[in-house]
């Protein structure tokens, strides 16, 4: 089953790499948001969100993640500053430190899809810190 995936990332090359991985795994990227406002515009029809912490408008990723999680979206953070999420973000899955290796990225997307489906069959990626 394919899910609608929102990519919240302000670095274009990283965002396109995430988009390619999402498509390769049979999911549908609904869009790329580079700031909180854009992310909230996509939030109505999203199943999974891959969210960076620092966006064009500052460190607004945790706000985006919390808001999406409250709307029943499976949220996974990917950031070069995982310490910024030290206390976790309620309702979200966890955080992967960038740079994210291709294998970890594939595992992370599968993990988020598995959790979205309500299952725990897929192990989290080895570098994922769960909340």
DSSP for 73-124, please give it.
Answer: -EEEEEES-GGGGTT--TT--EEEESSPPHHHHHHHHHHHHHHHTT---SPP
- Distance (Å, whole) CA 38 – CA 96: 22
Q: What is the pLDDT of residues 26-75, one digit of tens each?
A: 999 999 999 999 999 986 789 999 999 999 999 999 999 999 999 999 99
Q: Say what the pTM is.
A: 0.94
The separation between CA 95 and the C-alpha centre of its own chain, rounded to angstroms, equals 8
Widest Cα–Cα separation across the chain: 36
Domains and CATH numbers, the chain: 4-130 (3.40.50.2300)
> What's phi and psi for 127, nearest 5 deg?
-95, 5
Tell me, what's the pLDDT at 113? 93
């Amino acid at each position: 089953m394919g899910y609608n995936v929102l990519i919240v990332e302000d670095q274009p090359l990283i965002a396109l790499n995430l988009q390619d991985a999402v498509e390769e795994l049979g999911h549908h990227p609904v869009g790329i948001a580079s700031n909180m406002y854009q992310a909230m515009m996509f939030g109505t029809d999203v199943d999974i969100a891959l969210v960076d912490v620092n966006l064009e408008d500052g460190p607004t990723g945790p706000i985006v993640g919390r808001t999406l999680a409250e709307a029943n979206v499976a949220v996974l953070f990917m950031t070069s500053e995982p310490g910024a999420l030290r206390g976790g973000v309620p309702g979200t899955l966890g955080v992967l430190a960038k740079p994210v290796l291709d294998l970890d990225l594939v595992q992370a997307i599968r993990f988020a899809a598995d959790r979205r489906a309500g299952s725990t069959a897929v192990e989290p990626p080895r570098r994922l810190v769960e909340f």
